[in-house]
Amino acid sequence: MFTFAVGSGLSIASILLAVIVLAAMLIWVERRLLSFWQERLGPNRVGWFGIMQVVADMIKIFTKEDWVPPFADRLSFVLAPAIIMVVVLMSFAVIPFTPEVGVIDSHIGVLFVLAMASLGAYSVMLGGLSSNNKYALLGSLRAAAQMVSYEVFMGISLLGVVVLAGSFNLREIVESQADGWYIVPQCIGFLIFLIAGVAESHRLPFDIPEAEQEICAGYHTEYSGMKFGMFFVGEYLGLVLISSLITVLFFGGWLGPSFLPPIVWFALKAGFFIAFFILMRAALPRPRYDQLMSYGWLFLLPLSLLNLLLTGVVVLSTL
């Protein structure tokens, strides 16, 4: 019970704690990194280098009035932010952090993550729809279209990895990368997954569902207090999830030279991609809605199908 093993209580508790604390800390990390990239200083007053800014934000957001608009549909309004938290935390269940740390060793890991990502669309849809606000509705319409269409080739881009590893089990996928990470044979799949991952967690530059400048925060316009905080933390959890998935699927998960423990290798790789996602937010402009759609359906979908076809040909010809 109190040893690190897949599915042990200690493992589950530490993953849950680490992931949520990390997602909260990312608020500070992102603000600080963004400010460096914009030649500013960023929040650096509270605590050591401003690291306690998160605590200050937490106190603020917990003590805020928890207001539900009278015109909102109360049940789904309250339910929506909970869905995204639950769904993203569920996805972490199948992520293999190290050989010992993990929640379940599922043989349908990849499919489970994709299924949970699809359920995440309900959160933004219900949130926008129940707000009874035209901007929120526009945001959730965009979110639904974006998530549904980018899920398609998000799944297809992963199939290349699944074909090479011969398994849907994320743990076996990592183990099969011992003699070479899948980034080399699957670089196109990696790029597509990266782009689809950004769109799926609706981070910038693909934050069209919540574009502040156009539709004033989109689906969470009417949210305040901890309900907004849950959307916010849910988004960062999604960021951690996508980074972990990229690490697991394309960069060999915990594998690395043995002078560092496996969890450090995992954290380093995932941290690199988290920083990269923040860099994308700092650097890239948001595409128009129709550009996003046509880019997805007309360019990325054929490319991912082609990638799958080529992988299949190569795998079959070397059998």
CB of 303 to another protein, least distance (A): 10
Q: How far is CA 106 from CA 80, 100, 164, 171, 279, in A?
A: 27, 14, 18, 8, 33
Q: Which is nearer to another protein, 256 or 271 (CB)?
A: 271
Q: Which is nearer to another protein, 202 or 220 (CB)?
A: 202
**Contact flags string 215-234 toward another protein, x per CB under 8 A:** --------------------
State the Cα–Cα distance between residues 184 and 307, nearest whole angstrom: 13
CB of 258 to another protein, least distance (A): 30
CB of 301 to another protein, least distance (A): 14
CB 146 within 8 A of CB 197: no
State the Cα–Cα distance between residues 172 and 253, nearest whole angstrom: 11
Q: Which is nearer to another protein, 122 or 297 (CB)?
A: 297
CB 257 within 8 A of CB 108: no
Q: Which is nearer to another protein, 54 or 194 (CB)?
A: 194
State the Cα–Cα distance between residues 97 and 247, nearest whole angstrom: 10
95 by DSSP, 3-state: which?
coil
Cα 183–Cα 186–Cα 188 angle in degrees, nearest 5 = 105
CB of 69 to another protein, least distance (A): 32
> Which residues in 286-315 contact another protein (CB under 8 A)?
295, 299
**Of 78-86, 92-100, 217-225, 277-285: span binding another protein (CB under 8 A):** 277-285
Q: Which is nearer to another protein, 195 or 255 (CB)?
A: 195
Which 3-state string (H, E, C) describes 42-73? Answer: CCCCCCHHHCCHHHHHHHHHHHCCCCCCCCCC
CB of 273 to another protein, least distance (A): 13
CB 199 within 8 A of CB 296: yes
Q: Which is nearer to another protein, 40 or 74 (CB)?
A: 40
CB 57 within 8 A of CB 27: yes
> Which residues in 20-59 contact another protein (CB under 8 A)?
35-41
CB of 254 to another protein, least distance (A): 27
Q: Which is nearer to another protein, 40 or 60 (CB)?
A: 40
The helix or strand, by DSSP H or E, that contains position 158, with its residue range, turns out to be helix 134-165
**Of 49-57, 62-70, 112-120, 276-284: span binding another protein (CB under 8 A):** 276-284
Report the largest interatomic distance among the alpha carbons of the chain, rounded to a whole angstrom.
64
Number of chain positions touching another protein (CB under 8 A): 14
Rule CB under 8 A: choose which of 282, 293, 305, 315 binds another protein: 282
State the Cα–Cα distance between residues 148 and 141, nearest whole angstrom: 11
Which position has the token pair 């990325």?
300
Rule CB under 8 A: choose which of 114, 152, 280, 315 binds another protein: 280
Q: Which is nearer to another protein, 13 or 284 (CB)?
A: 284
CB of 151 to another protein, least distance (A): 20
187 is a contact residue toward another protein (CB under 8 A): no
Neighbouring C-beta atoms of residue 104, cutoff 10 Å: 15
In the structure encoding, which two tokens stand for residue 78, read together? 């309250």
CB of 208 to another protein, least distance (A): 16
- Point out which residues bind another protein (CB under 8 A): 35-41, 279-280, 282-284, 295, 299
